[in-house]
Structure 1
Amino acid sequence: MCATYEPPPRPIETFVFMDLEATGLPPSRPKIAEMCLFSVNRHALENPQYSNSFPKPTPLFPHLVDKLCIYINPDKPFTPTASSITGLNNEVFANNKKQSFNLHVFHMITAFFSRQHPPICLVAHNGYGYDFPLLKAELSALGISALDEIYCADTIKAMKALDRENNQLHQFLYQPSPIGSKKKYGLRDLYFKFFKVYPLNSHSAEGDVITLISIFQQRARDLMCWMDLNARQFNTIKNMYKENVRYASFSKTPMNIQPVPPSLLQDQPRRRITTVHPAILYPVDNGIDPTDNEYTPLYHRISELPDEIKNTLLLFIGLIVIVWIALKTPV
């Protein structure tokens, strides 16, 4: 029995096109190395500007586009194939002092989405098979649940649906395949189909997002209509894999990471991290809750004592040290 999902309650207003580059394919439990998000409003896709190119005008790339592109140290070796395709390797991340996937990345993603007009749909090419499960795995590794209000859609699934024989009025490629051949839905093949040249910067996250949007514009109304009816909530996506919560990755971050707002941590067990201090983490499991107003770290308590008491304590400690040294020193 096929799973059913609730579509958006009204037409999608914002399409966030995403592409990820990672250390490898699913069997290797890949880690994200590059992520790019381009946000395009429905109005821009429904009312494109056109070039004056001959013989057929081409939709110009949307002008008002919000962008978020991040390089992320995967803390894991690239497979030789992934490194040769993307041109990325672990040395370049180390040399450029890039941080791993941590709460800073999470906050950037949520802040990016908070600026977009809902309903919002995350769009990726082969998103259901790769990008969405991988992003879900990385977020879960932080011990948090996120993007619960966001929908998602896979452009390959949408394009194939539009090309079925019983949907001839809304075909994506608009032509039947030769007998014995299959239609090609790879980004490079689709781009060549419409523009007669291959795209630049293939297999970079930003380059592939630009390519995807350019292809999407060719059948924007049909694709948006399909996503209005078939997009699913991001929280229905299953993790590509599961791993232990990456507490250690936070401690590598030199800057202060603020606590995640409670509204972004919906129904999380109390064993999750509730706050992150720049010097030390306090998991709730150890019985100490740093959000408790009655709890104050020891060094904070000492710093709040009057100067007279602090000086007395220091003198007392000094005397103890002197006596201990005298007892240990042979006469």
Structure 2
Amino acid sequence: MADKTTSSSSVSTSTSRDQRDKIQSFVFLDLETTGLISPIQITELALISVHRKSMDDARARWKLTPRIVDKLVLCIDPEIEVEPDAEKITGLSRSLLRHNGKSTFNVQICQQLEGFFKRQEEPICLIAHNGDQYDFPILARSLFELNDSGVGNLDLMCADSLSAFRAVYPKKGSYKLTSLLLSTFGNTYNEHTAEDDAIGLMKLSINSWEKIRVWFEQNSTKRLQDYHTVSRSSSGALKRKRSDDNADEQALFMSPSAGAHPCHF
């Protein structure tokens, strides 16, 4: 009888721990930047945070836009000129950002980010398309260059949705965000604004929620601070980014005039 009691208690503790360790807040991240030439600076940042229960409910009701979301969208003076191709695609230039009174990536922005993340229930997972090679290192570098001790000390897990969709749907012809949205929903969207890209990624995740959620939870092993060392060489990251895709997407990546995003696939 004692053995059965011990076994039951052990199972209960394990179940409780498993439930506690599940991701509770999924934060979809997208960045617009100055282009591909180092140093790459952020011109726009969007965070769309959705609680696990809202993601589950949206999928159950076949709704792609949960009712309860937290959003943070910031336009940022990059302190350097935006490359012409990036300006054409994103509609953002340094002069436009400065004319609209936007500040640089400073302590106040770090505080805003810290406050935003502290509003979300933990564990928290940041999700970005090609985030491993682009969004996560660039954001990590921006934070740590300011010696930020707020966001930098938060336990933010990271998951790359590009790798997720490749694993879950291995026979897709293209894994660009725009291609996935077109093949899934049959229409396009206002791409190349950070907010719309993040919302598009959220909708794709909800549409494939059962499989994608499992992948996110099994593969979100790195924390945001882990990308700081990677971000010290943006050119190296971009080389890995180019070699990590197939030939047709490399061609698009190298030709923004063909509709490529300068920030992610």
TM-score in same-fold range (> 0.5): yes
Separation of aligned partners in 1, 2:114 and 2:210: 27
Deviation at 1:79, TM superposition (A): 0.8
Judge conservation of contact 1:133–1:239 (CA < 8 Å) in 2: yes
TM-score by length of 2: 0.75
- Aligned: 1:210 with 2:210: no
- Aligned: 1:83 with 2:93: no
Counterpart residue number, 1:61: 65
Aligned AA (1:163)? Y
| Pairing partner for 1:188 from 175, 178, 200 | 178
| Pairing partner for 2:215 from 218, 226, 241 | 226
Separation of aligned partners in 1, 2:159 and 2:60: 26
Counterpart residue number, 2:130: 126
Judge conservation of contact 1:134–1:239 (CA < 8 Å) in 2: no
Judge conservation of contact 2:59–2:207 (CA < 8 Å) in 1: no
Deviation at 1:229, TM superposition (A): 1.1
Aligned AA (1:160)? R
- Aligned: 1:44 with 2:54: yes
Separation of aligned partners in 2, 1:132 and 1:80: 24
Deviation at 1:49, TM superposition (A): 6.3
Judge conservation of contact 1:136–1:240 (CA < 8 Å) in 2: yes
Deviation at 1:90, TM superposition (A): 1.3
Counterpart residue number, 1:268: none
Is there any run of 5+ residues in structure 2 with no aligned partner, and where? 1-18, 235-265
Separation of aligned partners in 2, 1:20 and 1:141: 17
Deviation at 1:50, TM superposition (A): 7.1
Q: Secondary structure at the match of 2:40?
A: coil
RMSD (Å) for aligned C-alpha atoms: 2.0
- Aligned: 1:106 with 2:117: no
TM-score by length of 1: 0.61
Deviation at 1:116, TM superposition (A): 0.5
| Pairing partner for 1:143 from 123, 137, 147 | 147
- CA gap 1:229/1:50 in 2 versus in 1, 3 angstroms: closer
Aligned AA (1:129)? Q
- CA gap 1:94/1:229 in 2 versus in 1, 3 angstroms: same
Aligned AA (1:29)? P
1:7-64, Cα deviation, whole Å (9 max, x unpaired): x971101000010001012x4211101001011011111121677xxxxxx5230110
Counterpart residue number, 2:16: none
Separation of aligned partners in 2, 1:161 and 1:189: 16
- CA gap 1:189/1:226 in 2 versus in 1, 3 angstroms: same
Aligned AA (2:188)? Y
Q: Secondary structure at the match of 1:106?
A: helix
1:234-264, Cα deviation, whole Å (9 max, x unpaired): 2221342379xxxxxxxxxxxxxxxxxxxxx
Separation of aligned partners in 1, 2:223 and 2:46: 20
Judge conservation of contact 2:110–2:143 (CA < 8 Å) in 1: yes
Counterpart residue number, 1:72: 76
Counterpart residue number, 1:276: none
Higher helix share: 2
Judge conservation of contact 1:126–1:155 (CA < 8 Å) in 2: yes
Separation of aligned partners in 1, 2:198 and 2:102: 22
- CA gap 1:23/1:136 in 2 versus in 1, 3 angstroms: same
Separation of aligned partners in 2, 1:91 and 1:139: 23
Counterpart residue number, 1:241: 232
